[in-house]
Structure formats: C-alpha cells, structure tokens
Amino acid sequence: MTREKLYLFDTTLRDGAQTSGIDFSVAEKIAIAELLERLGVDYIEGGYPGANPTDTEFFSQRRTTKARFTAFGMTKRAGRSVSNDPGLQLLLEAKADANCFVAKSWDYHVEVALGCTNAENLDSIRDTVQAAVAAGREALIDCEHFFDGFKANPDYALACARTAYEAGARWVVLCDTNGGTLPGEVREIVTRVREVVPGTHLGIHAHDDTGQAVANSLAAVEAGVRQIQGTLNGIGERCGNANLVSLIPTLMLKAPYTDLVELSLTPAHLRDLTAISRAFDEMLNRAPNRHAPYVGESAFATKAGIHASALLKDPKTYEHVEPELVGNKRKVLVSDQAGKSNLLGELARLGVEVDKADPKLDALLAEVKEREAKGYAYEAADASFELLARRVLGKVPRFFEVKSFRVMVERRFNALGELVTMSEAVVKVDVDGETRMSVSEGNGPVNALDGALRKDLGKYQSAIEGLELVDYKVRILDGGTGAVTRVLIESHDLATHRRWFTIGVSSNIVDASFQALVDSITYALLKAGAVR
Ligand SMILES: CC(=O)SCCNC(=O)CCNC(=O)[C@H](O)C(C)(C)COP(=O)(O)OP(=O)(O)OC[C@H]1O[C@@H](n2cnc3c(N)ncnc32)[C@H](O)[C@@H]1OP(=O)(O)O
Ligand SMILES: CC(=O)C(=O)O
C-alpha cells in the first residue's frame, strides 16, 4: 500500500501566542522557529503581521530555511476590494512563503460576527485566495468553526470549503475552533467534506477543550485529511491546540498511521523529540510536565514492584514503545510501592552490584518502606537513596560527624535604623578526630546553617567549593499537632554540572533541613571520590 505524505503545520508562534500567560518577543520567536526547524515540521506559522509590532518585525525577514514560513491573517473585509483592504495588503507584503487566512464557515458567525451576507463571505474567501495566489503565495484557508458550522448548516460550510479550494487554496483546514467536537463526529464530517475537496488538500486544526485535540486530529487522518495543525507541548488558546509532541510519535510508530501516511521527519528527528519538548519548556520558563505522553520524566518510570520485576526481565512487559525511540529514558523508582526488583534496577543504574538473594537487600527494602511510612519520599531524592543504600550495604565512608548545631533568628534595628531579620548558625563537626566550630550568618536559618556547615570541613573543603543549593521545597505531611515536615533540597556542582536531590524528615523544619544539607554534602564528597 502506498503511503500518502502527511504535512505537519506548526502554529506555536501564532495560536500558541494566544495562550494566556504566554508572550513572545521577536528574539524568542526566532529561537522557537529554530527549534521547530530542528523538529522537522513542514510549515511554521510565525504570527499575524500587522496585528502587533512583534509580528510585523518578525515578518520583516524570511525566518526559516526548510519549513514553509507562513503568515496568518483574516480574509478581506466584506464591502471592500482586496486592494482597498490595508490589513490584507500587509499580509501579502510580509516576507513569507504562504498565507493562512482565517475565514468564517458557520453562517451564524457570518451574521453575528461579520454582519454581512453569506454570499459576501464567500466572495471574501474567493477574492482573498485568488489575491494570495496571484502574489505568488501558497494559500491556506482556516475554516473557523467548521464542525459547528457543518452541524448547523452543512451546505453553507461545504460551500465555504469548496469556494476556497476552487479559488486555488492548497489547503482547506477544518477548524474545531471551540474544541467541543468529538472524534466520531470528526470522522463523519471529514468523510462528507471529501466529496467536495480531496483529502490531499484537507487539514485539521483541533482545540483541546474536551481533551480530544490529539484524538480528533488522528480521527481526521483516518478519514483522509493530510495536514495536521498543532503546537509544541499543546500550547494555544484556552485549553490549547493538538499537541504535536504527542501526535508525532503516534503517527510514526503506531498502526494504522504507519500504513496510511509518512511524515517528513526521520527516526533521528524522533529521537530529538524529548530534548526539543523540554527545551521549549525552558524557553517558557516553566517546569516540563513530568507526566507528558512519550516525553515526560515519568512517561517510562515504573514505581510498582510487580511491574519493575517483569520490566527487568523484559522491558516490553510494561512499555508500549522503547523510550530511546523518542529520546526518553526508562526509570525504575524506589518507594513504598517497591519490591526488590525496583531496588536492583536502581542500584544497577548507580553502579552498585548486589545479589537478589543477599539478605542486605531485604534489610534495605524494609528500611526504605519504614522511612517512607515516616514521610521520606526516595523517588524524589536520588542522592539520599544512594547514600541510604550504600550505608545499608556497608559502603559509605563517614567523612565527618556533626557533634551539634545551633541556630538563632533575631529581629532588630540595624545601624541605619531599618528593621531586619537575621539568622546566625553555629555548627560543630569532627573531621579525623578534630573538632571544628564554624559560625555563619544568613538571610534565613537554613541559609545560615548551610553556610556554617560547609565553612570548614578541613581536608574536604576543596571538594565542595563548587557546591550550591539551587532549590528548597518544604511540605507539611499531616496537619494538626502531629505535623511532620519533609524538606527536599536540590544541589548543583558548578564544576561537574551534576545535580542531585536530598531529603530530610522531622517534626522540626530546621532539623529536616539540616538532614537534607548533611546528605547533600556527603553525596558531593562521595562523588568527588574523597577518601577517609
Ligand atoms: C480562531 C482564531 O484563533 S482566529 C485568530 C484570532 N487571533 C487574533 O485575533 C489575534 C490578533 N488580532 C488582532 O490583533 C486584532 O484583532 C486585529 C488587528 C486582527 C483586528 O483588530 P481590530 O481592527 O481592532 O478589530 P477587532 O479585533 O475589534 O475585531 C475583529 C474584526 O475583524 C472582523 N473579522 C473577524 N474575522 C474575519 C474574517 N475571517 N474575515 C473578515 N473579517 C473578519 C470582525 O468582524 C471584526 O470587524 P469589526 O471591527 O468591523 O467588527
Ligand atoms: C484558526 C483558528 O485558530 C481556529 O479556528 O481555532
């Protein structure tokens, strides 16, 4: 069976810019366009030239080399000619390969939003497409509210699609603008549209208001459309657009799509997908969704002991695809849901060899479960788990021993007469039998304790020079008087760029923080190869 080409049209820079809380600068648009080129999509819709200064400047130069650079805008206004519509003229002057015009295809919208007749709207569609084609552009029509329009007045919705196609539009894109259509309806309506426009000229633009944008896009492909519009990580107006990061692997790895269509992307592009998705979140300054399909940190993370046991025998038992195909990694988590198989998997990753029959493994599992019951969460604290495991298995040197610590918080007027809150900590540690006492001030008690703890560790001092704390999270585990505090600390070594997480649990927040700090420094020394 010959496969038809399926085109990917990315609208991250246009519909994605309609996401609440997201605003792109020109520099950010340039960086995202480079990421999209790396992803390998066929079209990059850069924005709406003329709508705002950023988009106008972005379209003052041609910005992509491989993908077709596309300018978005609306069809000409009713009652005006093409040459007398300044908005349309700006679109035709923008430096782009293609123009994508949004057109009304629901008669209710023609009446209420445009305030013109159905015939005038058809004229606008036809004249606009013909003007773009005459200007040497590839023309696309986004038929806004197509599915709702089809349900209200199928003849008129079909007339809009047919008019665009007959005027020379390369693509007629069926939009589920309000995002309320379901996959069965998409399949049925696309089948009807194919009676007037061939599938090789049809696209789908789905919004995610019922969580079906990906499913609707796939249903449309099954029904014959050959272009999908979507965005990186599914950003977009309201609940977002179809997520290309979820769609791409499904289209490239799963039947029936692998039998029906082929994409421009290669397996190498697919292996870059996780990195691209996370790089985009970095650009948006937000944490990646750990549970994102295919690319999330947890997408191939196994927590349950029964699953881990089978997974270690053969990963196929609990994985629908191999994580490496999309550039992700398998993870076996250690928690109170774990069995010995989880421990063996994680210890192997850490390079610690131990036999499944070794009684120390039972002791470690029991210790993990007992501590988790008290509030520890080792799946989030890789370094603390490694230290605990190596201790139980008898393999961690005691680099230093904390004899005592004291921390004081004081609110007072400073020399300038300003009210300030200061913290001061004193820590006594034994290194090689010699007691060292350090004092440090800080902007909070944990900061002061951290400063005092790593001020003077004698012969180990040079090994922790590059250590910095980058994040500190506190969680109260049960309310009332019996509250327990869990502290998670993320540390970073500037020299090696290694990052690790440590944990402390106590009814006292300072004590919990101190445990996590001690684990962080001990881990740094272990990784630096410090010897006792
Ligand atoms: C479904 C979608 O996502 S479509 C994309 C939506 N994106 C955006 O709107 C973002 C960019 N938009 C903008 O910056 C502004 O809305 C502009 C510059 C396009 C227009 O601004 P204004 O001229 O001030 O108009 P305003 O936004 O108030 O209203 C839109 C106008 O376009 C008309 N219009 C809407 N769609 C179309 C269309 N497909 N064809 C022709 N005219 C249209 C409306 O009837 C309305 O006309 P009116 O002012 O005579 O009532
Ligand atoms: C064009 C568009 O973004 C929509 O109809 O949703």
Residues lining ligand 2, judged by CB closer than 6 Å?
A: 15, 102, 142, 144, 175, 177, 205, 207
Q: How far is the CA of 420 from the centre of ligand 2 (A)?
A: 53
Q: How far is the CA of 166 from the centre of ligand 2 (A)?
A: 21
pLDDT tens-digit map of 3-57: 999 999 999 999 999 999 999 999 999 999 999 999 999 999 999 999 999 999 9
Cα angle 463, 469, 474; round to 5: 140
Q: How far is the CA of 102 from the centre of ligand 1 (A)?
A: 10
- Report the nearest atom of ligand 1 relative to the CA of 101: 39
pLDDT tens-digit map of 334-352: 888 889 998 998 898 888 8
Give the mutation target among 48, 140, 237, 238 for probing the ligand 2 site: most ligand atoms within 8 A of CB.
237
Angstrom distance (rounded) from CA 324 to CA 373: 34
Give the mutation target among 72, 175, 235 for probing the ligand 2 site: most ligand atoms within 8 A of CB.
175
- Report the nearest atom of ligand 1 relative to the CA of 145: 1
- Report the nearest atom of ligand 2 relative to the CA of 173: 1
Ligand lying closest to the C-alpha of residue 88: 1
- Kindly indicate the confidence band of residue 282, based on its pLDDT and cuts at 50, 70 and 90: confident
Say if strands 68-74 and 171-176 run parallel, antiparallel, or are unpaired.
unpaired
Q: What global pTM score does this model have?
A: 0.83
- H or E stretch including 341? helix 340-350
ipTM of the complex: 0.95
By the 8 A CB rule, do 126 and 133 touch?
A: no
By the 8 A CB rule, do 347 and 334 touch?
A: no
- Kindly indicate the confidence band of residue 532, based on its pLDDT and cuts at 50, 70 and 90: low
Beta bridge partners of 243: 231
Q: In sequence order, which residues have a C-beta less than 8 Å from that of residue 219 and are 6 or more positions away?
A: 183, 184, 186, 187, 190
pLDDT tens-digit map of 44-82: 999 999 999 999 999 999 888 899 999 999 999 999 999
Residue whose CA lies nearest to ligand 1 atom number 14: 51
Give the mutation target among 48, 102, 231 for probing the ligand 2 site: most ligand atoms within 8 A of CB.
102
